[in-house]
A and B are shown apart, each in its own frame.
Chain A
Amino acid sequence: MKTYLFFGFLILTAIAGTGCSDSATDPEDTAPADATQVLTDLATGIITPTYQDLDARAGDLLQAVTVLKNLPDEANLLTAQQAWKAARKPWEQAEGFLFGPVDTKGIDPAIDSWPLNKQDLESVLAQTEPLTKDRIDGLENTLKGFHTIEYLLFGDNADKKASGFTPRELEYLIAAAQSLKGETEKLFASWHPSGENFQNHLMKAGSPESIYSSQKSALQEITNGIIVIADEVANGKINDPFSQSDILLEESRFSDNSKTDFQDNIRSIRNLYLGQYNSFSGTGLSQVISTKNPTLDSRIRTEIADAIEAIGAIPGTFSEAIFSNRPSVESAQIKVRKIQQTFEEDVMPLILK
């Protein structure tokens, strides 16, 4: 095989007098037109719109905590808590593609560092320095973002009462929500064509405009992102509290939102795989896989649906279930691991073929 290809290369070089093209030109590979469509749909139909939703929901959250500060009653607290969960959703659905500006600009750590630094939060709350967006921006990542806001809004045991807020906590909440909004704005702008247009790197993969040397590399990036989040959910988010029976290792325990977090992470995989997000329906990785191996394609669809369902089937809160419903947690974990294994062992080789 190798020898044969070697001669092929010589002839190519001799005739074309050119370097190798990185783009997907293998007859067994995705037709370039397909890859272009898939990468364009993923960038413009899923990734950038997810960030757009995240930014919009972060705006709603800021609005809701502002209302809460003006009138800290139970109804406004509930609205603010729901706004936190609504903002959390697009973020978790964005965790299947943790590459690009979210990482290189330090946005992921600025909005989702865990655990929260409670000691320092208490110290800052005890100080008198005004709590502004700039002040929060300058604080350590473990003192801002989703989990700090979650702790302030829900309390240590999902038992926060509207009467329990100090004025200082409300001031912190608003500044932290402003800081979060600043980060989500930055993230959306970094992908949007009117901003830094990172989505162009996926759409133009293989051209000199892109940091991706080939469309195959860009598809590999997407596949890697899926593997990383499946691994994170199965072997980190579920496994750490589950294997050690320790709710302190549970990420969204203040809000009891862990099961929804996990499901939305898997939905992030689903969105990338099917090329669907909210009302958008385009082409996803499925397009690449189904033409090569339709059986695998239908298996993946089933595995994704099964995992989302199994997580939803865990009774009660995740904090309770790791003690009282361990088989259901384990069943969900196995299904998420299956997705990871399938993308590692079956999908990636097809993408790279």
Chain B
Amino acid sequence: MSSFVPQIALILTGTFLFSCSDDPQTDPSAENTDHLSGGETTIFDATSHAFSLPAPNLSAASLSRHIDGDAAFGQHFVTAPAEVFGGLGPLYNNTSCQNCHVRDGRGKAPAPGEQLTSLLLRASVAGSSDHGGPVGAPGFGGQIQPKATAGIQPETEIQVSYELISGSYPDGTGWQLRKPVFTLVNSYTGIPAGMMLSPRLSPPVFGLGLLEAVPSSEIIGRSDPDDLNQDGISGRPNYVWDVISQSVQLGRFGWKANTPNLLQQTANAFQEDMGITSPFFPKENSYGQPQDSKLDDDPEITGDYADLTAFYVRTLAVPAQRNPGDPQVVKGKDLFNSAGCKSCHTPQLKTGLHPVVSELSNQTIHPYTDLLLHDMGEDLADGRPDYLATGSEWRTPPLWGIGLTEVVTGTPYYLHDGRARSLEEAILWHGGEAEKSKENFKKLSKVERDQLLTFLKSL
């Protein structure tokens, strides 16, 4: 928000000793604590570090473990055998957590012809695995790794191009959206018939410990799989395989809620994204493929190292909403609610007891997600089922911190494959259960649309 009447503000400041600041701590307009997006884990920072700070309520012991975890999250791995931090690959997508989750934020969609840096493709063929998950594509597994250590043949190259799609608002304002098309070229082996691919952009990683602490009952309680209330919105829980407890659990993480907890998410990323094996995923992602290394060095990290990394993610702070009392923001919030966005982007949740990090327990949080799957229509569909998620269902992504995307990671990219270059584009891609809300948005005046976007940018 710019100051368009600075003189008046200054005069009033002098008179009332009043700071018209963007620091919600002292923002008098905050009648409630809705701006405390992460409850007691909230920080007041609108800089490029906004997603990278430890929760302020951590105990000394937790902070110490967070700092160790920070180093693990940033660590580059190299080809084994190595003096330090060996185990990369032989097949991989990237060499460190941080390389994809730059500044703990969103990934970048590749420009046409550019290599993928923080976007990956999941792969499968028809059917379901022993535990109900997708069946990895023969020769490629569950994820495409376009990179390999020296002397090893990568699985394939991934090329991206974009289709442009034009449209306009009822008021005549035009837009142009872009939809990515991924093509595999120079693959080391034949592409299996019927192989399904799903692009996934690296999501921001802060606040996830809080989402882990939301009781399953609270999430399931919001579901309406058969749309009994006939609001056009179902909301379905995903149930997925927990490799750690060896049981079926509610899915929470990933673009299709295909992962039950952060330790599994982290250990799986080590294995699939970096080729780093752990006790939880002891086989290389190239297992059974000719690229598999002949080294007997698995697991390449300890369970504690994976846990340490997960601990870091769990204990990152959530940035507070900025300017919650700004009239434009207030109006935008009303429009967000009345357009029906909040039906899925649930403004408020409460955490229960976190099993590992007590600082995350019993927090009132404002993530703007229900953690449920919703049919988002054909235009966004990847056509690849993932446990109970259909090819057109996606888990509602959280919106907290979304307005800081640009300051944290530069050019912003939104949605599962980063196709949207602005929040406005992201809204315009909504379909399926969100079709009605999108139509509501389109019918707004330009001023109102801007207010709604201003609200989103305040998050």
Q: How far is the CB of B281 from chain A (nearest CB, A)?
A: 22
Query: Is A211 at the interface (CB under 8 A from chain B)?
Result: yes
Q: Is the CB of B14 within 8 A of A8?
A: no
CA distance A8 to B411 in the complex (A): 37
Residues of B near A25 (CB, < 8 A) are: 3, 6, 9-10, 13, 19-21
Q: Does B84 contact A (CB under 8 A)?
A: yes
A29 within 8 A of B: yes
With a CB–CB cut-off of 8 A, which chain B residues contact A6?
Answer: 28-29
Q: Is B6 a contact partner of A21 (Cβ separation < 8 A)?
A: yes
Task: Please report the C-alpha to C-alpha distance between residue A142 and residue B85 in the assembled complex, in whole angstroms.
Answer: 12
Complex Cα distance, B95 from A32, in Å, reads: 43
Stretch at the interface among B40-48, B207-215, B423-431: B40-48
- A20-B1, A115-B83, A217-B45 are known; give 4 further A-B pairs, CB within 8 A: A20-B29, A119-B86, A206-B3, A218-B47
Interface-located stretch among A49-57, A102-110, A177-185, A303-311: A102-110
B22, CB-defined interface residue at 8 Å:
yes
- Residue contact A212 to B20, C-beta cutoff 8 Å: no
Query: Closest residue to A24 on the B side, CB-wise?
Result: B21
- Chain B neighbourhood of A27, CB < 8 A: 13-14, 17
Cα distance A8–B326 when bound, in Å?
Answer: 14
Q: Are A211 and B406 in contact (CB under 8 A)?
A: yes
B151 close to chain A: CB less than 8 A: yes
Q: Choose one: B16, B21, B28, B47; the contact of A224 (CB below 8 Å).
A: B47
- In chain B, positions 82-119 with a C-beta closer than 8 Å to chain A are 82-86, 88, 95, 99, 102-103, 117
In the complex the two chains form, what is the Cα distance from A211 to B410 in whole Å?
9
Interface membership of A164, Cβ < 8 A: no
Q: Mark A227-256, 1 if CB is under 8 A from B, else 0.
A: 010010001100010000000110000000
On whether the beta carbons of B16 and A19 are closer than 8 Å, the reply is: no
List 5 A-B residue pairs with CB atoms under 8 Å apart, sorted by A's residue number.
A11-B16, A26-B21, A27-B14, A99-B47, A103-B102
Knowing A22-B21, A212-B407 are in contact, say whether A113-B4 is a contact too (CB < 8 A): no
Q: A9-B29, A29-B19 are in contact. Are A21 and B48 (CB under 8 A)?
A: no
- Chain B residues whose C-beta falls within 8 Å of the C-beta of A228 in the assembled complex: 49
Identify which of B72-80, B124-132, B259-267 touches chain A.
B72-80
Residues of A within 8 A of B346 (CB): none
Please tell me if the beta carbons of B407 and A115 are within 8 angstroms of each other in the complex: no
A interface, size bucket: 35 or more
- Asked if B302 lies at the interface with its beta carbon under 8 angstroms from chain A, I say no
Q: Which residue of B lies closest to A190 (CB)?
A: B410
Q: Which residues of A contact B86 (CB under 8 A)?
A: 119
Residues of A1-40 contacting chain B, CB below 8 A: 2, 5-9, 11-13, 15-16, 18-29, 32
CA distance A240 to B72 in the complex (A): 12
Q: Does A165 contact B (CB under 8 A)?
A: no
**A79: B residues at CB distance < 8 A:** none
Specify which chain A residues have a CB less than 8 angstroms from the CB of B193 in the assembled complex. Answer: none
| B220 CB to nearest A CB, Å | 38
Give A218 to B103 CA distance when docked, in angstroms.
Answer: 17
> Contact: A117 with B71, CB < 8 Å?
no
Chain A contact residues: over half helix, strand or loop, or mixed?
A: helix
User: Mask for A110-153, Cβ within 8 A of B = 1, else 0?
Assistant: 00011111111001100100000000000011100000000000
Answer yes or no: B187 CB below 8 A from chain A CBs: no
| A119 & B76 in contact (Cβ 8 Å cutoff) | no
Is the pair B18, A109 in contact by a Cβ cutoff of 8 Å? no
Q: Are the CB atoms of B409 and A26 closer together than 8 Å?
A: no
Closest A-chain residue to B74, C-beta based? Answer: A236
B5 contacts partner chain A, Cβ-Cβ < 8 Å: yes
B145 at the interface (CB under 8 A from A): no
Smallest CB gap from B14: residue in A: A27
Complexed CA–CA distance, A231 and B151 (Å): 38
Q: With the chains together, A109 CA to B76 CA distance in Å? A: 9
B80 adjacent to A9 (CB under 8 Å): no
Question: Chain B residues near A213 (CB, 8 Å)?
Answer: 1, 22, 46, 322-323
Q: Are A119 and B406 in contact (CB under 8 A)?
A: no
**Which residues from chain B sit less than 8 Å from chain A, CB to CB?**
1-6, 8-10, 12-14, 16-23, 26-29, 44-49, 67, 71, 76, 78-86, 88, 95, 99, 102-103, 117, 147, 149-151, 322-323, 325-329, 406-407, 409-411
Chain A neighbourhood of B23, CB < 8 A: 216, 352
Specify which of A2, A106, A117, A124 is in contact with B82 (CB 8 Å cutoff): A117
* Distance between Cα atoms of A22 and B325 in the complex (Å): 12
Contact of A104 among B21, B83, B102 (CB under 8 A): B102
Q: Contact partner of A248 among B67, B71, B80, B83, CB < 8 A?
A: B83
Contact at A99–B17, with CB atoms within 8 Å? no
CB pair B18–A8 under 8 Å, yes or no, is yes
Provide the residues of chain B in CB contact with A113, threshold 8 Å: 76, 95
Q: Does A214 contact B (CB under 8 A)?
A: yes
Q: How far is the CB of B292 from chain A (nearest CB, A)?
A: 16
The contact string, 1 if C-beta is below 8 Å from chain B, for chain A 162-193, is: 00000000000000000000000000000000
Could you tell me if B2 and A208 are in contact, using CB atoms closer than 8 angstroms? yes
Give the shortest distance, in Å, between B409 (CB) and chain A (any CB).
6
Q: Please tell me if A200 contacts chain B, counting CB pairs below 8 Å.
A: no
Are B410 and A105 interface neighbours, CB within 8 A? yes
Within 8 Å CB of B48, what residues of A? 99-100, 103, 221, 224
**Once the chains bind, are A16 and B325 in contact (CB under 8 Å)?**
no
A residues less than 8 Å from B18 (CB atoms): 5, 8-9, 12, 26
Closest 5 CB pairs of A and B: A104-B410, A21-B3, A123-B150, A26-B19, A5-B28
- B-facing mask of A267-297, CB < 8 A → 1, else 0? 0000000000000000000000000000000
The answer on a CB contact under 8 Å between B45 and A220 is: yes
Residues of B within 8 A of A7 (CB): 28
Which B residues lie within 8 Å of A260 (CB)?
Answer: none
Q: In this assembly, does A207 line the interface, its C-beta being within 8 Å of a C-beta of chain B?
A: yes
Q: When chains A and B are docked, how far (Å) is the Cα of A216 from the Cα of B16?
A: 20
A155 within 8 A of B: no
Contact between chains at B78 and A20 (CB < 8 Å): no
User: Which residue in B47, B81, B117 is a CB contact (below 8 Å) of A106?
Assistant: B117
- Docked CA distance A211–B14 (Å): 28
CA distance A10 to B128 in the complex (A): 60
Are A217 and B6 neighbours in the complex by a CB distance under 8 Å? no
Interchain CB contact under 8 A, A21 and B410: no
- Find B323's partner among A20, A24, A114, A221 (CB 8 Å cutoff): A20
Give chain B residues whose Cβ lies under 8 Å from the Cβ of A249: 84
Chain A positions within 8 Å of B44 at CB level:
352
* With A12-B16, A25-B20, A26-B21 as contacts: A120 and B47 at CB distance below 8 Å: no
Give the complex CA separation of A113 and B77 in angstroms: 10
For residue A101, CB closer than 8 A to chain B, the reply is yes
Q: Are A18 and B409 in contact (CB under 8 A)?
A: no
Residue of B49, B102, B326 near A19 (CB, 8 A) is B326
A5–B26 CA distance with the chains assembled, in angstroms: 8
Bound CA span A100–B408, Å: 8
- Residues of B within 8 Å of A5, CB to CB, are 18-19, 26, 28
B294 to chain A, nearest CB (A): 14
> B28 contacts which chain A residues (CB < 8 A)?
2, 5-9
Do A214 and B21 touch (CB < 8 A)? yes
A211 to B48, CA, bound (A): 10
Given contacts A118-B78, A123-B151, A212-B407, contact A19 B323 (CB under 8 A): yes
